[in-house]
Structure 1
């Protein structure tokens, strides 16, 4: 469980620092967009009140609290799972990614009322209309990793 906590803490800190930097130092919330290495990497400010790809956005304020509760429920489920049946080192790393990312987005919902998304990447003629953040990447990679690599204690 120590490895889960270390990975989760690292993801959480990196996520919150990057969001703080782009929102408050770079003032992306005011500027709206900064082309970093177009089209491959751009910063596009998006306040996501819903879930992935803006689903459930624009719903009542209670939706925010439901999404916070769901995220915390998932974190609790993963923590209990890792304590009862640890999947090996690789699985613990993926669990830490998922937990750290989920907690990063929970803090956004508490502080801002929405998740601060800012990364936008496009390539090869495809223009991506969506923005995401470090927490989103971590939740996605963590969930996929747990699904693929949690087959037992010997998974590495």
Structure 2
């Protein structure tokens, strides 16, 4: 699969960086996401029993649940192979993202998006390796009738990173 060359402009894109030093801020951001994600999961795991819920507001609970699948519990009911599959995808994605961030280190929005995605992916990979499942605990709901699937900080970082990636692409295409 060929990758498109990302043009450099005077606004957002200061070109690519060939030195490893350009990677440091982006890897640092990914590491911060991983740290926040893991600390939050450890805290919730120690404070809550499985499926225990604490109502915070009329639309938000903290609850400890486990997800053996991917987003929205995709493939969660399978026999266990999905743990290794999603772990491999996360590691391959992190390697490719590192390559992209090194190649485009001067493109702030692009690399911020990638760092958030990588930090989130690796946060969930750590869970799969340590526990065999991902720890989720953020539960948003409407009138206790409809509950959005529980998620975690890693999932949030991936979603925010994806939104920033789309924004970056739209801005790039517009120019």
In which range does the TM-score fall when normalised by the shorter chain?
0.7 to 0.9
For normalisation by structure 1, the TM-score amounts to: 0.86
Deviations along 1:3-48, whole A, 9 cap, x unmatched? 2111101110000000000011x1242x621112232x20122210
Unpaired segments ≥5 residues, structure 1: none
> Would you say the 8 A contact 1:91–1:146 is kept in 2?
yes
Runs of 4+ in 1 over 6 A off after TM superposition: none
Higher relative contact order (CA 8 A, sep 6+): 1
State the aligned residue count: 150
TM-superposed CA distance for 1:122, in Å, is 2.5
Matched, 1:78 2:100: no
TM-superposed CA distance for 1:148, in Å, is 2.4
Over the aligned positions, Cα root-mean-square deviation in angstroms equals 2.1
Counterpart CA distance in 1 for 2:74 and 2:152 is: 16
Partner of 2:128: 109
Alignment match of 1:98 (pick from 109, 113, 117) = 117
Alignment match of 1:145 (pick from 164, 170, 174) = 164
Higher Rg of the two aligned structures = 2
Alignment match of 2:53 (pick from 33, 51, 61) = 33
> Would you say the 8 A contact 1:36–1:43 is kept in 2?
yes
For normalisation by structure 2, the TM-score amounts to: 0.77
Deviations along 1:87-117, whole A, 9 cap, x unmatched? 6112222111111111100010011100000
Partner of 2:152: 133
Alignment match of 2:42 (pick from 20, 23, 46) = 20
Counterpart CA distance in 2 for 1:87 and 1:73 is: 23
> Would you say the 8 A contact 1:47–1:117 is kept in 2?
yes
